[in-house]
């Protein structure tokens, strides 16, 4: 795991607790765009557990579903943009 990937994963988890939701979403997008990152599912699950009683979740795991959709949708784009296949 590269240093940048580790840093983004740690920031994503920390942002779940202390930052607005859009910063967490930015970490999820950055991780998903560059790597096949299972960490985004962990960040999404952590956010849903913490924010589940919140007003915008409506009883469904919104952030986890967002993370899963982003991982699936960005797969072809990631394959096109990355020149160095070792980084995947």
Contact 43/30 with Cβ under 8 angstroms?
no
Number of domains, the chain: 1
Per-residue pLDDT of the chain (88 residues; tens, 9 = 90+): 689 899 999 999 999 999 888 899 899 999 888 888 889 999 988 988 887 765 555 677 888 888 888 888 888 777 777 655 555 5
pTM (predicted TM-score): 0.78
Give start and end residues of each alpha helix (H) in the chain: 3-18, 21-34, 39-51, 62-81
Cα distance between residue 86 and residue 23, in whole Å: 28
Q: Would you state the structure tokens that stand for residue 9, as one six-digit string?
A: 């994963």
User: 50 is in which domain, residue-wise?
Assistant: 3-87
SS3 of residue 86 by DSSP = helix
């Amino acid at each position: 795991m590269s240093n940048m990937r580790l840093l983004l994963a740690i920031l994503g988890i920390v942002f779940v607790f202390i930052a607005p939701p859009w910063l967490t979403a930015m970490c999820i997008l950055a991780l998903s765009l560059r790597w096949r990152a299972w960490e985004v599912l962990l960040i999404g699950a952590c956010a849903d557990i913490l924010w589940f009683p919140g007003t915008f979740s409506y009883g469904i795991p919104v952030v986890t579903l967002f993370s899963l959709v982003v991982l699936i949708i960005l797969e072809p784009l990631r394959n096109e943009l990355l020149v160095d296949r070792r980084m995947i």
